[in-house]
Structure 1
Amino acid sequence: MFPGAAADRESADYALVGAPLDRSTSFRPGTRFGPRRIRHHAGGFEDFDHRTGAKFTDRSVYDHGDVGPTADAAEYLDFLTGTLSDLREEGATPLLVGGEHTVTVASVRAVDPDVYVCLDAHLDLRESYAGDPLSHATVTRHALAVADRAVLLGARAGSEAEWERAAEADVTVVPPEDVAEWSPDLPGTGTPEPFGIAPSEGRRLVSAVASACEGFDVVEVNDRDDGQAATLAAKLLRRFVHDHAAEG
């Protein structure tokens, strides 16, 4: 269980779902361990948040546990979408913890937002990657089948075709130099890309958009570091909950 997620399903304002998918990671696998590591490394945080004056244990967060992957990726995403949709219909804001980035496709389908906002090094606008139309490198394209627009914060890597697609009116790319100081990325992810934003800037961005969001994902955390990435992911999730609740 995510530390501090003390609510039951019926009374929850937020519902955390683990999605340990690890099928299309193209460089360093290990995202199957992401949900477990994020929960584990959240254990050292103080319950009280001085910025909002609230305790995380009072935020009515329910941990649904993990939705384990199946052999068929499309079927898995459909089932995960259904799980998230059910929780949302019951009044909870979904918090998805991955798992490779592909699981975000289910989150977007469940929430059906007007705008998809993503903090990522990669454009993920491919139609397919290595012959796989449900690769982690296709997430933004799938999101645009649901959302009207995509805003990609810190994106700095993609193929020539992806950059051409990103130039269209429904995609806004905000490069790292426009949102943060230069900083090396954390190592515990599948496809690391240097010159990312600093963790403090990531926190500021999450806080800035939290009140307008209908769901939140943290994905692509693996087991290839000493817990830095999982610790940051857990802290950003908590930051989202506090700021979303404070503005709600």
Structure 2
Amino acid sequence: MTELRYQLLPNRDPEAADVLVLPVPHELTVSYRAGTHNGPDALLAATAQLEYYDEDLAWSPFQHLGVSVLPTLEKTLWERPEDFHRRLGEATAALRRDSLLLCLGGEHSITPSLVAGRMPGPGTVVMLDAHADLRPSYEGSAYSHACPGHRLRAAGHRLLLVGVRSLMDAEAERIEADAGIDCYMARRLRQSAAWDALLAQLAALSGPVWLSIDMDVFDPGQAGSVGTPQPGGLGWYDVCELVEACLANPAVDLRGADIVELIPDPAQVTDMVAAKLSQRIIACWGRAQGYENGPRNGSQTEVDYH
């Protein structure tokens, strides 16, 4: 098997790495387009074409951070969904807490289990998604890709939904009635007042936070190879600005992030968007943690620039 890693970077020892990347190619409940199980490999392969200087943040995170891509975590053939999700939560709970955990899906059903392991107490989940994902169950499963928002709220986490443009009437009613859910619909964010309010809310976050990005939050014209694409959506720089606002605040205790619902794209456009998004998350977290000032734990990396 080919070693999974950020291309051009040596895979660090997980006990010494600053960033832990966990591929979770779980695909069991997709209801439209299949192929999300190939998402982690496609994202990692696309990193071979990334320049490692972050042009917006003006530093090169991979000169200062060590990255370790962990072994893939998959559902076994006869494993029940509830047992797999329990095992996924236990696996993330066992990982070092002083590192950034970045998980690569797979379908969006993995997020609540990741959060359960990394953020067992109440926190805030910032979920960028075209869908509200607030159904208690879908097609007979509480572990569906349509249910992560419901499972997160049931676990006591506050939800900040961003970019939503597809939901059922019952989900809309729940958003209206539940003070623990803030939702910014995609079209509303075209208004400068709504955009500024969202940025202010992200900048004011504190305490434990998890960042979940479903690739269908993007306008399909920019990243269309996803499990359930929807018209409209956010652009690349919109998402970058949201990530930067979320992670810049030193009061935020980021417990981890995930990028989900990528389906490998024959044109490799969506693959590259997801790969560069992973880089931006790492760069924002590293800057907030002070890595701009030099490496920690002997993690400085020689980068073979192409």
TM bracket (short chain):
over 0.9
Q: Hey, what does 2:204 align to over in structure 1?
A: none
Q: Distance in 1 between matches of 2:181 and 2:166?
A: 15
1:85 and 2:72 matched = no
SS at 1:105's partner residue? helix
Change (3 A) 1:247 1:178: farther
Choose the corresponding residue for 2:276, options 218, 232, 235. 235
Q: Deviation of residue 237 (structure 1)?
A: 1.1
Q: Is the 8 A contact 2:18 2:100 kept in 1?
A: yes
Q: Which residue of 1 aligns with 2:234?
A: 197
Q: Deviations over 1:183-215 (max 9, x none)?
A: 445221111111011111111111111243321
**Superposition deviation, residue 177 in structure 1:** 3.0
TM-score, structure 1 normalization: 0.93
| SS at 1:214 equivalent | strand
- Pick closer, same or farther for the CA change 1:32–1:203 going to 2, 3 Å: same
Alpha-carbon offset, residue 2 of structure 1: 2.1
- Per the alignment, in what secondary structure is the counterpart of residue 59 of structure 1? coil
- Please tell me whether the aligned partners of residues 188 and 227 of structure 1 are also in contact (alpha carbons under 8 angstroms): no
The answer to whether residue 26 in structure 2 is matched with residue 8 in structure 1 is: no
SS at match of 2:255: coil
Residues 1-248 of structure 1: matches in 2 within 5 Å? 1-3=5-7, 4=9, 6-50=11-55, 51-70=57-76, 71-89=79-97, 91-112=98-119, 114-167=123-176, 168-180=178-190, 183-185=219-221, 186-211=223-248, 212=252, 213-248=254-289
Query: In 2 relative to 1, CA 156–99 (structure 1 residues): closer, same or farther, beyond 3 Å?
Result: same
Deviations 1:225-245 (A, max 9, x none): 422222111111110111111
C-alpha contact 1:16 1:65 (8 A) present in aligned 2? no
Mean Cα deviation higher: 110-119 or 124-133: 110-119
- Alpha-carbon separation, structure 1, partners of 2:51 and 2:269: 17
Displacement of 1:178: 3.9
Cα distance, 1:106 vs structure 2: 1.5
Deviation at 1:147, TM superposition (A): 4.1
Q: TM-score normalized by structure 2?
A: 0.76
Supply the distance in 2 between the matched residues of 1:82 and 1:160 (Cα, whole angstroms): 35
Of Structure 1 and Structure 2, the greater helix share is in 1
Contact 1:67–1:80 (8 Å) recurs in 2: yes
Distance 1:116 1:68 in 2: 23
- Given that 2:89 and 2:117 are in contact with CA atoms closer than 8 Å, whether structure 1 keeps it comes out as yes
2:21 match: secondary structure: strand
Residue ranges of structure 1 left out of the alignment (5+ in a row): none
Identity in percent: 28
TM-superposed CA distance for 1:5, in Å, is 5.9
The one-letter code sitting in structure 1 at the alignment partner of 2:17 is A
Q: State whether residues 180 and 197 of structure 1, in contact with CA within 8 Å, keep that contact through their aligned partners in structure 2.
A: no
> Could you say which structure has the larger radius of gyration?
2
Are 2:164 and 2:183, in contact at CA under 8 Å, matched by a contact in 1? yes
Aligned residues: CA RMSD: 1.9
Moved more, 157-166 or 120-129: 157-166
Deviation at 1:87, TM superposition (A): 1.2
